[in-house]
A and B are shown apart, each in its own frame.
Chain A
Amino acid sequence: MALSNVVETPASGFNFENVSRNVALDGLLEGGHAKAPKPMKTGTTIAGVVCKDGVVLGADTRATSGEVVADKMCAKIHYISPNMYCCGAGTAADTEKTTDLLSSNLTIFSMTSGRNPRVVMAVNILQDMLFRYRGQIGASLILGGVDCTGNHLYTVGPYGSIDNVPYLAMGSGDLAALGILEDRFKPNMELEDAKELVRDAIHSGIMSDLGSGNNIDICVITKQGVDYIRPYQESEYKDKRQRRYKYRPGTTSILTEKIVPLELEVVQETVQRMDTA
């Protein structure tokens, strides 16, 4: 059975074969004491600001699964193309896969057309895809980039709505971050001021929202290139490990050792030329 899977290319689009399995599992777990694990969400505060020389994106690094922090150093700023990055809020798997898919498609486009992709193109592709899935893909994205037409920042909602804005915050901590941005945003800010503003916005989200926390990542995109600073700022509430959890070799004593050599003899040797033309 396994061999036939290897040869088959998977069908395009989403595969819903596990839905019936999940329903059955839910039924089994209902009676018992165990509960199905909740999908990992990014909780999240993400923000973006357009400044004079480019675009600054920021994000926290906490990923939650129900009430537990599943990942303390989650990367929420995803690479799309050399001139574009995308912050994702919502279901972690959805944002990962959607941005991955977009990145692959844009790479193919750059190779065939010989041009750098424009931010509007990425936004249109995202909009078409998310609209087609009617909100089932829980990805709220902030797409920022610099191209030949200027510095752009777009928001893409899970249902496929888009908006072109100069500053933006999304995720569960968006209201707190937006407060900072609304107060201090000015058009055509200097790069350093913009970085500080985004840092403050994410910090505010981390302080006021339970789903956001840990460190702050910043990504600065300019005409010259990208500066992905991870982490820009570490959390001051890092815990100290009480003990060392690594064990020296030899901690567990070896009682007996038995070595059985496998005897192999070369029966036949063939060389097949690979056609690399």
Chain B
Amino acid sequence: MERHLMDSKIKGVSTGTTILAVTFNGGVIIGSDSRASIGGYYVSSKTINKLIQVHDRIFCCIAGSLADAQAVTKAAKFQISFHSIQMESPPLVKAAASVLKELCYNNKEELQAGFITAGWDRKKGPQVYTVALGGMLLSQPFTIGGSGSTYIYGYADAKYKPDMSKEECLQFATNALALAMGRDNVSGGVAHLVVITEEGVEHVVIPGDKLPKFHDE
């Protein structure tokens, strides 16, 4: 295994990755690819799950070191669940994002993981929060992250509209993921999308060959 660990900044399995979250009218869509790599050129898993459910209506997607991200989300899931039981009500999306932020900020020397938290709560409706590598917490109407996101900033900025319908938003997210997976070598596999609304959670999986095709594919 050691020969795979070349000069990658992330030791062990990295999620490479393209992740995004977009709010629409009545809910939020969170999406990711499904590739995990080691050293930047060995795909260790084609079907890794990067969309982790931390509560009934709150998901978070992970980027960076897989080990660090899984450990942080495990701790966060427990803390959010405990908080929710104490408060006797579903947690706010901001609370869940804050929990992740605290863990990332207080352990910033040791950890190499970033997150996007998205969900629905009664107080503010659909929301998206980014927790960056060093522990910065930012709320945005939509956000993209991971190594593959650099290839779709232009597309996302041009095509995002506030208050989209669910179908438009699904199309936007699918296109964005497909474009990023097409250009980034450490993103790939299938596209996982989760639609979170007041009513519930819907998981959509789009296999690689069913993704929209663009120029030169």
A and B held together in a complex: yes
Select the stretch in A63-71, A155-163, A261-269 that faces chain B.
Answer: A155-163
Question: In residues 9-25 of chain B, which contact A (Cβ within 8 Å)?
Answer: 11-13
Does residue B206 face the partner (Cβ distance < 8 Å to A)? no
Contact between B67 and A163 (Cβ–Cβ < 8 Å)? no
Number of interface residues of A (CB under 8 A): 22
Instruction: Pick from B1, B48, B65, B110 the residue with the most CB of A within 10 Å.
Output: B1
Chain A residues with Cβ below 8 Å from B3 are 172
Contact between B67 and A140 (Cβ–Cβ < 8 Å)? no
Contact between B47 and A161 (Cβ–Cβ < 8 Å)? no
Does residue A134 face the partner (Cβ distance < 8 Å to B)? yes
Min CB–CB distance A124 → chain B (angstroms): 8
Does residue B194 face the partner (Cβ distance < 8 Å to A)? no
Contacts known (A163-B48, A165-B47, A171-B1); A157 close to B71, Cβ less than 8 A: no
Chain A residues with Cβ below 8 Å from B13 are 157, 159, 161
Chain A residues with Cβ below 8 Å from B191 are none
Q: CA A124 – CA B74 in complex, angstroms?
A: 10
B42: nearest chain-A partner, CB-CB: A175
Against B, the Cβ 8 Å flags (1 = close, 0 = not) of A123-167 are 010011011001100001000000000000000011111110100
Q: CA A266 – CA B67 in complex, angstroms?
A: 65
Residue pairs across A and B with CB atoms within 8 Å: the count is: 55
Chain B residues with Cβ below 8 Å from A163 are 36, 44-45, 48
Contact between B12 and A135 (Cβ–Cβ < 8 Å)? yes
Please give 17 more A-B residue pairs, beta carbons under 8 A apart, in addition to A159-B11, A171-B1.
Answer: A89-B1, A90-B1, A124-B74, A127-B67, A131-B71, A135-B12, A159-B13, A159-B66, A161-B12, A161-B13, A161-B65, A163-B36, A163-B44, A163-B48, A165-B45, A172-B1, A172-B3
Chain B residues at the A interface, C-beta cutoff of 8 Å: 1, 3, 11-13, 36, 44-45, 47-48, 65-68, 70-71, 74, 110
Closest 4 CB pairs between A and B? A159-B12, A159-B67, A161-B66, A160-B67
The contact sample of 16 A-B pairs, CB cut-off 8 A, is: A89-B1, A124-B74, A127-B71, A128-B71, A130-B67, A131-B70, A140-B1, A157-B13, A157-B44, A157-B67, A159-B11, A159-B67, A160-B67, A160-B70, A163-B45, A172-B3
